[in-house]
Every structure is written in C-alpha cells, then in structure tokens.
Amino acid sequence: MSILNFVGRAALASIFVQGGLSALQHPQQRAKLVERAGLPEPELLTQINGGIMAASGVLMALGIMPRTSALALLSSMVPTTVIGHPFWQMEGAERQGQMLHFAKNVAMMGGLLLVVADRGK
C-alpha cells in the first residue's frame, strides 16, 4: 500500500467516522429528516446508517477491505444525500446552502468511487 493511498483513504474516511459516530450518539436531529421522508423507525435507521459509516470509514482508513468499505459508504451516501439535503424543496439562502452540501456529498461519492476502482496497480 502506498503512503499516498493510505493518507488519501484516511482523509476521506475521517468525515464518515466522525459523522457516523455523531449519528450513533445523537440521532435525533437527523432522524427528523428521515421521518419527514416517510421512512419507518427514523432513529433506528439513522443509527444503522451511522454505524455503517463509522465502521466502514475505520476499515477503509486502515486499508482493511478498502474497496468493499468504500462501496458500503457509497451505498449509504445515496440515501443520506437525498434525504439530508433536498435543496429542490427549498428556496433562497437555504436552497443555496443545501445545494452546497449536496454537491459536497457528491464529491465525496466521487472519492469513494476512486477507492472502489483502485486495484492497487
């Protein structure tokens, strides 16, 4: 494993570990968004998603099944992004802020795709 791959994966993973732990410990605010989306058991779903993010982030950062871990993170990012940043339902400054967060998440998904595609050549 190259040092650049390690540092890159660790940097990318840090947001997932931090956000996942936060969702596990304090799911209430995020769960409100899940509830508004009409999904059942919003706090439980929020905590499951947080657990996936935290665990997969740690595994990816450590280089343990990094491609599989990145794929798990990618899979959790799609609903997180759509439910958490519905800019299309907003107007004005709030819309702009949510568009920025949506774009940030899409950029993180791009980084995850690079990890998935990395075959260590």
> If you search the block for the tokens 């009409």, which residue do you land on?
38
Average pLDDT of the chain, as a whole number: 95
Q: With bands split at pLDDT 50, 70 and 90, how would you rate the model's confidence at 1? A: low
**Positive/negative CA dihedral, 96, 100, 102, 103:** positive
Say what percent of the chain tops pLDDT 90: 96
- 22-74 pLDDT per residue, tens: 999 999 999 999 999 999 999 999 999 999 999 999 999 999 999 999 999 99
| Alpha carbons 73 and 54: distance in angstroms, whole number | 9
For position 121, what pLDDT does the model report? 57
Q: Within a 10 A sphere around the Cβ of 121, how many other Cβ atoms?
A: 3
- Stretch 81-98: mean pLDDT: 96
The pTM assigned to this predicted structure is: 0.91
For position 119, what pLDDT does the model report? 86
| Alpha carbons 60 and 93: distance in angstroms, whole number | 35
